[in-house]
Amino acid sequence: MGEVFVLVEHRQGKIRDVTQEMLGAGEKLAAQQGTVLTAVLLGKGVKNFADELATRAAKVLVVEDENLEHFNSILYQKVLTSLISKHQPLLTLMGHTAFGMDLAASLSVEMGFPMVTDCIGLSLENGRVKATRSIYGGKVNANVSLKNSQGYIATIRPGVFSPKVLTEKKGGITIEPSPLKGMIDLKKFLEYIEAPTTGEDITQAEIIVAVGQGIGGPENIPMVQEVAKNLGGVLACSRPVVDRNWLPKERQVGISGKTVKPKVYIAVGISGAFQHVTAMQGSETIIAINKDPRAPIFGVADYGIVDDFQNVLPVLREKTKK
């Protein structure tokens, strides 16, 4: 009772990164409350996931049912209401992802629990949830405090919380009976279609070289791409670069693109609008190349080069050549 539930998100045989981030955040929340962290795993044939999760959570609750093979918010809600009623967690965490967005609101209505979404900060103080939400497209951070309740639901923004857990666990795995009686066909999983990608995932990269509108045109991208490759990194970009079709959307960093946290982020010809910075300021080292010394990107950069990128990139290309 009073524990912190983390709803495990998995797809296509893989636990998704947001789950690890929730476990990292959930461990701290459970410690604040003097309670335990429980990973809640719904699926079909997910025993191997349970073993892995048991090293990162004090408890793992598993519900296996063939109808849970693919995510379906109606079925997940049915199972979760049953688990929440039985175990009475203080807080149920899920990712602010397509899954979480589909599920959290109706679950909160059914349980009568207050809910806070898209959190970038979360704490439990005397049994009450306090959260930070980034609103108005990242211009304002709102600190919110939820009303007193026996239970809460929160969704967290992917890519914001650290996936690290402080101590390795040997959590107990409990198999719970499925409350699903036969197939409920209001909503059906039809097919999984992977979005076409170039095979490079910018959210996983340790080194990112990102280009902005300041690079002038697509003809300059190969030079930057070469530098990224020489450094063992990947190419990313700001939104106008995508809007102008210089690079595909999957490479966009920002509030309407991806959140990244590489070891090194090199921003080339990027002004540093908050819609961009919000999603890359967690990078370990930020290097900005911009010809305008007043560009806001220098406000978050650890190192800055005030110059035309045309003077800097060729030198970088030479220096990084293998």
- Return residues touching ligand FAD (CB under 6 A): 137, 212-214, 238-240, 252-257, 269-271, 273, 275-276, 289-292, 295, 308-310
Cβ proximity to ligand FAD: between 286 and 295 the closer is 295
Q: Pick between residue 86 and residue 244 the one whose CB is nearest to ligand FAD.
A: 244
Report, in Å, the least distance between residue 213 CB and ligand FAD: 3
- Residue pair 247/235 in contact by the 8 Å Cβ criterion: yes
Shortest distance (Å) from residue 211 CB to ligand FAD: 8
In whole angstroms, how close is the CB of 192 to ligand FAD at the nearest point? 26
At its nearest, how many Å lie between ligand FAD and the CB of residue 288?
9
Task: State which residue, 135 or 183, has the beta carbon closest to ligand FAD.
Answer: 135
Considering beta carbons, is residue 111 or 288 the nearer one to ligand FAD?
288
Q: Of 211, 207, 203, which is closest to residue 313 (Cα–Cα)?
A: 211
What is residue 117's DSSP assignment?
Answer: E
Rounded Cα distance, 198 and 31, in Å: 41
In 3D, which of 257, 226, 260, 232 has the Cα closest to residue 242?
A: 257
Q: Shortest Cβ distance from residue 214 to ligand FAD (Å)?
A: 2
**Element containing residue 50 per DSSP (H, E):** helix 47-53
Nearer to ligand FAD, 124 or 210 (CB): 210
* 3-class secondary-structure state, position 29: helix
Q: Which is nearer to ligand FAD, 26 or 257 (CB)?
A: 257
- CA 14/CA 137 separation, integer angstroms: 31
Distance CA(118)–CA(203), nearest Å, equals 18
Residues 6+ apart with CB under 8 A from 244: 213, 218
User: What would the two tokens of residue 24 be?
Assistant: 């990292």
CB of 320 to ligand FAD, least distance (A): 18
Please check whether residue 265 is in contact with residue 211, taking contact to mean a CB–CB distance below 8 angstroms.
Answer: no
Cα 224 to the center of its chain, rounded Å: 27
User: Tokens standing for 222?
Assistant: 């190969």
Nearer CB in complex with ligand FAD: 13/216: 216
**Cβ proximity to ligand FAD, 171 vs 269, nearer residue:** 269
Strands 59-64 and 140-145: unpaired
Give min distance, CB of 277 to ligand FAD, in A: 8
Phi/psi of residue 84, nearest 5 degrees? -65, -40
CB of 322 to ligand FAD, least distance (A): 26
Q: Give the number of other CB atoms < 10 A from CB of residue 292.
A: 13
